[in-house]
Structure formats: C-alpha cells, structure tokens
C-alpha cells in the first residue's frame, strides 16, 4: 500500500491551531494585552471597532522587537518566554506557547509596528493568512503596536458564527477587566468606535477596582489579607449586604493571572454561608500568590483553569481568610446586649402599629343548637355559612395568616402578593376555584379534572408576552416620577444600558440626561416601583453580560426574558385568591401556554379518570 500520511502545510496547521486559541474577538484582545504586559509596558492602549470584527489594536510602550524577532514572532511555537520544559513550571509570564500571534495571523489581516528601546528605527510588518505581505524599516515609537483587522476573513463559517457587535464587545470588556484588574500598576486606555471608555491610571488595587466598576464600589469593599507558607491571599470581598442575585463581580487571580475555579469559589460561598440569601452571589476580587512550581497552568489553551498541587489546603485557607475578614469588619451578626432594641426595628416597620393579640368570641355560639354539625347524620361539616363552631378558630386563623404574610414580606417583595393583576376584580365572580399549594403551585379545576400550575413560570410567560408586545407595538405606558431618581452605574454597565435604550424606552423607562457614572430616571414602567428600579436594572445588566448562548435570537427577546424573570412572582410568594384567578386567566390568554419563556413546562393536568384510577 502506498504511503498516505503527509505533514500539513504551515498555514493549514496554523489555521487549525487558531481554532483553539481564537474563538472570538475577545480572545485576540486577551492575547495581545497579555503580550503587552509580558513586554513590560507601563501604558497599554486597546482600540476596538465594531465589537472587534473590524479592528482590534493594542499599543504598548514595552521592550519592542528586533526585525528578526518581529518576523519570528509570527511563527508557530516561537517564543522568548520559555526555553525548556522545566521553564513551564516556573512561569513568570502570561504567554509561553508561542502560538497566539501565529494563530491570529492565520485568520486575519495583521499589521505590526515595533521598535526596541536602543534602536533608532523600527520595523513594519504586514501579514495576511500566515504569509508576510511586506516588511519594511519604519519610524515608530518605542514599543509595539499590533493591529488585527477583519478577523476570520478567510473562514466565513466562523465569521458568521460571531454574535452581534454588542455581545462581542461585552466579551472584550470582560477580558479587558480581567487584565486591567490583574495589573493595577499599568495604565490602561480602552477606546471603542472612537470614544474613550476607560482611562485607568496606575494605582493601588482598591483604586483600580473602583475605577473599573464605578464609585459605588468603594463602600462595598472589605480587605482580605492572609499570609501562609503555601499561599498569600490579598484583595477584597464585597460586604454581604451588597451580594447580588445575579453573578456579578467575582474574580480570582493566581500569580496575576485570571482564573476560574468552581472549587475555590465554593470556599468563598461557604464562608459567606448564613450571611447572604441562598440565591445571592457574593462579590470578590482575590489575588492568590503561590509558588509557581506548585501549579500547572498548561491544561487548557485559553488558560483560565489551572491545577493546584494542594487544592484542599488552599480551600481551607481561603475560606478562613474570608471568614476572618467578615468577622473583623463586623459584618457577621453578633449578639450585643447593650444595643438599643428600638434601633433594630426595620425601617419599614418603625411606624407600624403593633397589634394586640386578641381572642374573639362568638356570643351566639351554641354547640348544642339544632342547626350545627351533626355527626349522627353522617355529615361532618355544615355547608355554606362559616358561622358556628368554625368561628372558634377565627382569632387563631387571622393570626396565622398575619404571620404568614409577615414572613413573606421578609423573603420576597411585599408588593407582589397585592394587586399586580389589573383586571382582577372582574374575574372575581367567575366560579372557577383556585388554591395555592405550598406557595408554589396554583391548583384549579377544569371540566375534565384539575390543573396544577407553577406560579412563577406562569407569571414569567404572562410578563414575557406582555413585554414583547409593548416593545413591538410601542404602546408605552410609563409612570412619571415626581422626583427623578439618580442611580450609579459603572461605565461598562452604562454602555450595556445605552445599547438597550430604545427597547427600554418602549417598555416605559424614561431616562434623563447622562452624567458620568450616573443615570437619571424620570419614568418607570408601571409595574416597577421606584425602590425596585435599581435591582431590576442591575439584574438586567448581568443577564445581558452573561448572555452568550445562541438561544436568544434578538435583543428584545432577551430583554423580555430577563425582565420577566426578575419581576415575576416567585416560589414562596403568597398569592391571594383574586391574584391566583387573575394569573390563571392571564396565562390562558397568552399565545403560548404550555412552556415558560425558558422552555419549562408551566402546568400539568390531572384528569378525573387518572384520579379515579388512583383510588382503585
């Protein structure tokens, strides 16, 4: 048989490697920023156009490259950072594979200007699809500038696979945050489509975090510091009271490299246990310094996972360091007998009258009267009026329900169990009966049996369709605020909101003029209260920044989903009868009644024959 195996040509091999290294514009940003950091730059500029699809450029004032190095840097496995396999275990640089530039040059148009410090002139190099198009002597500042244009120009399938500019831009911002937070001692600039988004000057770590995430972050941060033989931990955690419902700012850095570690994340969750609601996520910025020989970062090409020699010890140290900080800064509840109890009353309850417990007695009650229950007749309960013996329990009953609504106020927002359903009264005469099961399901009867409806999913569906309708029909309803509220957001968050401005407007949000890190809100959709506005917008932002799956086909769809999720009644919310009925009716007025916006079944039916069968 003839030999059939061949070595692949370089440009093909590079293109294959590129598939691993470059998934989207943000991967290019990461590689270029890390190269600039490795080059010892003091100032790094990132310039991006159209979510990185048109241009990604990184300019640094680092060590630069000689003409030969400039040429070699685009070869595969060409690196100045390691020389032998042992070096892999004492890495002090971000890069080490020598694959990034070769991969990028295989799938984009690349231009490089570079000049080392001690040279008069520098080098200009232009690459297209792994081949050098031109190389010239050039007058250029000290350092390196690499511009990557038309990413995936030669792989249409990949290019079409890219998300909208906004989504790609968000991924780029995430990468930028990670590198900028890992290196507070470097100046960073970030321009998108010609406007300056970030101008971060070299500062302490705390200042850098505040620069990136906005002034409001300042009051949230609590320092963490722990030094042991195995690891040094530095950084900040966010106070428990600021924990968000959505995963927000959670950053681990190991030896100045951003990493993801579900295991270490769990260590922090367990330190916060009992201090935040189970569904809330703590924020943290933690920097671990370990002996480079004790980690292996050579696991994944995109290098956000690493392997530790002794994960269990790290877990324990991290957990206790975070606990220690939480305790030291009095963030954990403590028993204090000196405290004035009056000050402890939650604000909302301060002016409420306390109810005296009372026992109500029905003077007309006579257990031996003819009309009441008679077991002898075989009937246990008297139908109709609730007078009679049942009245005995009246006082108790109302007390119980008071307690119930009190606890629901505690866990979920109070407004929800009220009159969120506008046409509720109309349906009251309807003779369908409903009841709520474990504050989770609404049970109702239909001709053929019964329905068990998941209250939260049903409401999500109702809201989702309602929001979609108001966005497409632009039938805006808005409540003007007497006093506009001003909310603070970071620059990144503001750009996300700005992207969605038209849709938000169609939903009833009215924004005032913009100020730095402030958003003036003049009007809100009728169903969002002033107090909820910030939380709703926060959740919306984080929902958008996490959105990367292909299941959402449009921005309005994504927005409607996110809003319906955050505004719907939840499991645990007590609904009165009127609201239950209204919800059922609203659900069956929807176009789709079977599935929630997140494709989960909304209700199940139990037919009479099924019930009959169970009794056999």
Q: Where do contacts with Mg ion occur on this chain (CB under 5 A)?
A: 35, 95, 100
How many helices and strands, by DSSP H and E, does the chain display? 17, 22
Give which of Mg ion, ligand ADP, none residue 249 binds (C-beta under 5 to 8 Å, depending on kind): none
Residue 65 binds: one of ligand ADP, Mg ion, none (C-beta under 5 to 8 A by kind): ligand ADP
Q: Does 313 bind ligand ADP (CB under 6 A)?
A: no
Question: Toward ligand ADP, which CB reaches closer, 187 or 372?
Answer: 187
Instruction: Please report which helix (H) or strand (E) contains residue 582, including its range.
Output: helix 577-588
Q: Which does 96 bind (CB under 5 to 8 A by kind): Mg ion, ligand ADP, none?
A: ligand ADP
Q: Are strands 250-254 and 284-290 parallel, antiparallel or unpaired?
A: parallel
End-to-end, the C-alpha distance of the chain in Å comes to 73
**Residue 67 C-beta: closest distance to Mg ion, Å:** 19
Give the count of residues interacting with ligand ADP (CB under 6 A).
23
**Closest C-alpha to 245, from 603, 520, 542:** 542
Q: Which stretch binds ligand ADP (CB under 6 A): 29-37, 185-193, 282-290, 365-373?
A: 29-37
Q: Minimal CA–CA distance to 226: which of 311, 295, 287?
A: 287
Please give the residues from 102 up to 141 whose contact with ligand ADP meets the rule CB under 6 A: 102
Q: How far is the CB of 65 from ligand ADP (least distance, A)?
A: 5
CB 477 within 8 Å of CB 492? no
Q: Which does 98 bind (CB under 5 to 8 A by kind): Mg ion, ligand ADP, none?
A: ligand ADP
Q: Is 186 in the site for ligand ADP (CB under 6 A)?
A: no
Q: How far is CA 97 from CA 108, 178, 204, in A?
A: 20, 20, 31
Should residue 301 be labelled a site residue for ligand ADP when binding is judged by CB under 6 A?
no
User: What's the token pair of residue 20?
Assistant: 């691993």
User: Residue 155, class by beta-carbon neighbours within 10 Å (0-12 exposed, 13-18 middle, 19+ buried)?
Assistant: middle
Q: Is 257 in the site for ligand ADP (CB under 6 A)?
A: no
Site string for ligand ADP, 192-221 (x = CB under 6 A): ------------------------------
**Contact between 60 and ligand ADP (CB under 6 A)?**
yes
CA–CA separation, 526 vs 444, rounded Å?
29
Binds ligand ADP (CB under 6 A): choice among 28, 33, 39, 48: 39
As measured in angstroms, the least distance from the Cβ of 69 to ligand ADP is: 6
* DSSP output for 395-460: HHHHHHHHHHHHHHHHHS-GGGGSS-STTTGGGGG----EEEETTTEEEEEETTEEEEEEHHHHHH
Three-state helix/strand/coil letters over 44-89: EEEEEEHHHCCEEEEEECCCCCCHHHHHHCCCCCCCCCCCCHHHHH
Check if the beta carbon of residue 133 is closer than 8 Å to that of residue 127: yes
Using CB under 6 A as the criterion, what x/- string covers residues 70-109 for binding ligand ADP?
A: ---x----xxxx-------------xxxxxxxx-------
Enumerate residues 542-601 that contact ligand ADP by CB under 6 A: none
Residue number with CB closer to ligand ADP (67 or 282): 67
Closest CB to ligand ADP among residues 124, 242: 124
C-beta of 32 vs 519, nearer to Mg ion = 32
Report the C-alpha gap between 175 and 140 in whole angstroms: 27
Residues within the interface to ligand ADP (CB under 6 A): 31, 35-36, 39, 60, 62-65, 73, 78-81, 95-102, 144
């Amino acid at each position: 048989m003839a030999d059939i195996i061949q070595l692949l040509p370089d440009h093909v091999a590079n293109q294959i490697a590129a598939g691993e290294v470059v998934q989207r514009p943000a991967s290019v940003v990461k590689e270029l920023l890390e190269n600039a950091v490795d080059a010892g730059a003091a100032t790094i500029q990132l310039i991006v156009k159209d979510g990185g699809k048109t241009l990604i450029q990184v300019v640094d004032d680092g060590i630069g490259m000689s003409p030969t190095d400039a040429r070699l840097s685009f070869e595969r496995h060409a690196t100045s950072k390691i020389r032998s396999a042992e070096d892999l275990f004492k890495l002090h640089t971000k890069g080490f594979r020598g694959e990034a530039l070769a991969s990028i040059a295989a799938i984009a148009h690349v231009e490089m200007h570079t000049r080392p410090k001690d040279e008069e002139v520098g080098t200009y190099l232009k690459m297209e699809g792994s081949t050098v198009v031109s190389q010239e002597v050039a007058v250029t500042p000290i350092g390196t500038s690499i511009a990557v244009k038309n990413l995936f120009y030669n792989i249409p399938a990949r290019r079409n696979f890219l998300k909208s500019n906004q989504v790609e831009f968000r991924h780029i911002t995430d990468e930028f945050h990670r590198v900028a937070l890992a290196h507070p001692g470097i100046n960073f600039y970030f321009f998108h489509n010609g406007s300056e988004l970030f101008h971060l000057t070299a500062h302490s770590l705390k200042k850098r975090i505040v620069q990136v995430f906005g002034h409001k972050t300042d009051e949230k941060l609590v320092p963490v510091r722990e030094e042991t033989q195995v690891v040094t931990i530095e950084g900040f955690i966010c106070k428990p009271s600021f924990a968000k419902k959505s995963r927000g700012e959670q950053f681990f850095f190991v030896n100045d490299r951003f990493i993801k570690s579900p295991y270490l994340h769990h260590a922090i969750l367990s330190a916060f246990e009992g201090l935040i609601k189970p569904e809330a996520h703590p924020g943290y910025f933690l920097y671990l310094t370990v002996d480079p020989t004790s980690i292996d970062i050579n696991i994944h090409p995109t290098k956000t996972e690493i392997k530790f020699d002794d994960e269990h010890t790290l877990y324990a140290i991290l957990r206790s360091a975070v606990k220690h900080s939480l305790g030291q800064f009095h963030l954990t509840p403590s028993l204090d007998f000196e405290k004035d109890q009056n000050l402890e009353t939650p604000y909302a309850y301060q002016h409420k009258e306390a109810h005296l417990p009372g026992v109500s007695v029905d003077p007309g009650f006579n257990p031996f009267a003819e009309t009441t229950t008679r077991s002898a007749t075989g009937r246990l309960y008297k139908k109709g009026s609730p007078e009679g013996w049942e009245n005995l329990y009246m006082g108790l009953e109302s007390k119980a329900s008071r307690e119930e609504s009190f606890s629901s106020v505690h866990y979920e927002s109070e407004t929800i169990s009220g009159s969120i359903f506008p046409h509720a009264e109309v349906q009251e005469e309807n003779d369908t009966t409903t009841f709520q099961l474990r504050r989770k399901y609404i049970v109702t009867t239909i001709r053929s049996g019964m329905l068990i409806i998941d209250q939260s999913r049903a409401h999500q569906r109702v809201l989702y369709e309602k929001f979609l309708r108001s966005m497409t029909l632009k039938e805006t309803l808005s409540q003007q605020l007497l006093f506009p509220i001003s909310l603070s957001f970071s620059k990144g968050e503001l750009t996300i909101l700005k992207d969605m401005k038209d849709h938000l407007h169609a939903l009833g949000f009215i924004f005032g003029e913009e100020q730095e890190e402030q958003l003036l809100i003049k009007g809100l959709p009728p169903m969002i209260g002033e107090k909820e506005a910030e939380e709703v917008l926060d959740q919306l932002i984080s929902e958008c920044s996490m959105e990367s799956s292909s299941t959402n086909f449009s921005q309005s769809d994504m927005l409607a989903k996110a809003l319906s999720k955050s505004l719907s009644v939840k499991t645990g919310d007590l609904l009165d009868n009127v609201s239950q009925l209204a919800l059922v009716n609203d659900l069956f007025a929807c176009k789709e009644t079977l599935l929630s916006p997140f494709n989960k079944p909304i209700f199940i039916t139990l037919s009479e024959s099924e019930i009959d069968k169970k009794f056999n």
